[in-house]
Structure 1
């Protein structure tokens, strides 16, 4: 089922200014904007006032000439990171002397945010207002993406989504203690795997699927049908990542590392990385560094060769829900309602170069490239929306609405991406190739 995200509803603009009075002095004044419409509760039709923001003066010339000034780096799907094995900075990132000059600058007038809400009656299929409804009859704003399919079956929060290379199956895990297997052609559930504990995360790396559950990591090879159990975790496994030929898991009790042993066809435990004082809920690898986000409100930077903690980042004031590498930057989001952008200073340590503020706490970050290979950031908030931003300007491209908060966003091939929310719904999206015009 495809949804047209480009349709916007509630476009009554009221009568033109020439019909709002014959007084010459009134005609020379700026038309008034309806205060009830601004508050989202105007019920007059037609309304004598504007149902749109009045047009202001053009932006200053220097704002019109702005430029994002940041190029995309790599085509790696899970965070557009360009690996640099020759980088010796302690933070694992190249120092950029101009790193604080472009973040958060849109190159034009500021984006005006308006109250948006999906019509509950439209969701149920019985809204009688049609195009005159004051609420959205779409799961998206903007024209960036199209909803291809909604996969129903999970009963609780979707905590993991995996698409193994060379497979025609999509895998999703949930706190309902199941992994569901979906046929990519029909969109139908092809199987259900039951576990004794909740699924906290999933990861696909080549033909392997890793599933983090309570006190255990399960490993499946979709080509050889190998089924392994990796022991060692204490409590729930919340995050999984592969780096430096190792599998790393974020758990209630810290971070564990395994390495694949070809002679025994198994994963051998290597090291436990300790230091966090609360659960480790997010991991990412870049330039031979591991970055771990925790419920202790900190991010730790680890050397993957020595397993030493190089730096502790403490600028967040709540749980660090997600960490992401992009070019020479580290991005992190938190329930403290901020996205922070980190870059290496002259001494090689990471410091905050830009903070983006949201109205609600953030749940997940995911990076991808649009149809013109420009970097885009998807940010899930706990108000049941995903904000879509251009980088580095943080100009908003659109929003995705969901029934409940989205905990997982996963990138697929050919412009596909997947979202899983707290209601148990998995959605399949496609980035539109017609969402923007080419500029030479």
Structure 2
């Protein structure tokens, strides 16, 4: 099945999970698409089986809390930020719920955590106005950048470059092999007066960058030229929260949640809103991701919802 405007409009909630008692702060699909991992403000990590549509395992991190969870390249390990004790990043074995390694260094809350798509390196950005480059095999930071403001960061799909969004007004692109020499290009964008950038993602085809905010606007820019392509609006965010925005695997659609529990979808080529999808999410939908392998969408507030397309014959 190919993803079209009509298929998107026919997505319906197939299952709702109520495993959590507090906000789900991050979700991440495994590369194979078979499982989804989530972290929540209730200090729990839940792993879901995407093929059977069932919760598979729940782990607790009561001591450190858990935030920004993401899979590494091994499905049995994950990285996450901390909400208690300190701002150390932690590398967890999901098999036995034991920590493999700690990555200390940030002095304020980590707000961005991204695994490289090709190897063991990962990026972290913090409210201490730094971006750090790490390798899973060493607790020592491999690279450090000081920035003038809150950072957001993302790897491109090839894992050769990364983008850093700085001060909610410019995007700098760095070559990973020589990033200590500074950015090889900088895109200056018009600053939004009433919101900050809270997330950034490359499209799976590497041609676009989607910038999400804590306001009522998303920006889509050309990943090579920095040209503004689309501005997506018309969704509710009256609480100033960070709403995740994500691409479909074919890069043709962008999805974002809202504070009224609805999911909005736009066509990335035309900028036209394709669908507004209703679900009984009681709170702001801060996590939205499309499965990389299967025709399935996951959205989360306190509850987790799995969406599938229902096409009439």
On whether the aligned pair clears a TM of 0.5, the verdict is yes
User: Structure 1 residues 230, 182: CA separation in 2 closer, same or farther (over 3 Å shift)?
Assistant: same
> Over residues 95-116 of structure 1, what are the superposed CA-to-partner deviations in whole Å (9 max), with x where a residue is unaligned?
xxxxxxxxxxx9xxxxxxxxxx
What corresponds to 2:78 in structure 1? 209
Partner Cα separation in structure 1 for residue 100 and residue 34 of structure 2: 19
For residue 359 of structure 1, report the CA deviation from its aligned partner: 5.1
- With normalisation by structure 1, the TM-score equals 0.56
2:106 to 230, 233, 237: 233
SS of the residue corresponding to residue 243 of structure 2 reads: strand
> Over residues 178-204 of structure 1, what are the superposed CA-to-partner deviations in whole Å (9 max), with x where a residue is unaligned?
223345536246323123344331111
For residue 367 of structure 1, report the CA deviation from its aligned partner: 0.7
SS of the residue corresponding to residue 350 of structure 1 reads: coil
RCO higher in structure (CA 8 A, sep ≥6): 1
Is the aligned partner of 1:319 residue 2:188? no
- Asked if the contact 1:162–1:209 (Cα under 8 Å) also holds between the matched residues in 2, the reply is no
Partner Cα separation in structure 2 for residue 167 and residue 366 of structure 1: 15
What corresponds to 1:173 in structure 2? 39
- Asked if the contact 1:202–1:239 (Cα under 8 Å) also holds between the matched residues in 2, the reply is no
Partner Cα separation in structure 2 for residue 375 and residue 353 of structure 1: 13
Q: Which has the larger radius of gyration?
A: 1
Is the aligned partner of 1:427 residue 2:305? yes
In the alignment of these two chains, the number of paired residues is: 283
Partner Cα separation in structure 1 for residue 251 and residue 102 of structure 2: 40
Is the aligned partner of 1:219 residue 2:219? no
- Asked if the contact 1:293–1:321 (Cα under 8 Å) also holds between the matched residues in 2, the reply is no
Structure 2 unaligned blocks of 5 or more: none
What corresponds to 1:283 in structure 2? 153
Structure with more of its chain in strand, by fraction: 2
Partner Cα separation in structure 1 for residue 149 and residue 261 of structure 2: 29
- With normalisation by structure 2, the TM-score equals 0.76
For residue 220 of structure 1, report the CA deviation from its aligned partner: 2.8
1:39-438 to 2 correspondence within 5 Å?
Answer: 143-165=9-31, 170-184=36-50, 185=52, 187-188=54-55, 190-207=57-74, 208-214=77-83, 215-222=87-94, 227-243=100-116, 245=119, 246-253=121-128, 254-261=130-137, 266-278=138-150, 280=151, 282-286=152-156, 288-293=160-165, 296-303=167-174, 304-307=176-179, 308-309=182-183, 310-311=185-186, 313-317=188-192, 318-326=195-203, 327=205, 328-343=207-222, 349-358=225-234, 360-361=236-237, 363-369=243-249, 375-401=252-278, 402-412=281-291, 413-421=293-301, 424-432=302-310, 434=311
